[in-house]
Amino acid sequence: METKFAIPAVNTYVRLVYKSTLALCGFGQIQIESIRDHICAPLHQYLTEHPKRLKRLDPAVRLPSRLALRYEAASVYVGLDYVLTTAVKPCSVRTVLKEAAHINR
C-alpha cells in the first residue's frame, strides 16, 4: 500500500480491514465515518489563501504541505482519509453479570 505524508504503514488501513480488526479484537457496534471532506480540502484551501500559516506547521510536514499546494486538493488527498470511529468495548461475562447485578439492586 502506498503511503502519503509519512504516515507509518502500521497506521494505514482500508476501512474494511480496520473494521474487521476491531471486530476480531472483540469490539461491537462499530461505526466508521469519514470526515475527510471536512478536513483535507478546507485545510488545503486555507493554506492556499494564507501561505504564511505554513510556518506554524510541524517542520516535518511543512515542505510536503507547501509542495501539495501546487496541486488540486482532490488529487493530493486521494487515497487519504480521516475517520471518526466508535465501537462498544469488549468486556468479560463476569463484568456483564456484575453490572446486571448492580442494576437489579
Return the DSSP state at 57: S
* 22, 15 Cβ separation under 8 angstroms: no
Residue by residue, pLDDT tens for the chain (105 residues) are 455 666 777 878 888 888 988 888 888 899 999 998 898 899 999 999 999 999 998 888 888 889 999 999 888 888 788 899 999 987 766 665 666 666 555
Q: How many residues does the chain have?
A: 105
Give the whole-angstrom CA distance, residue 12 versus residue 4: 10
How many domains are there within the chain?
A: 2
Are 30 and 58 within one domain? no
Domain of 22, in residue numbers: 1-35+82-105
User: 63 to each of 5, 68, 79, 101, how far by Cα in Å?
Assistant: 10, 8, 20, 58
Considering the domain architecture, whether residues 70 and 93 belong to the same structural domain is answered as no
Q: What is the pTM of this model?
A: 0.62
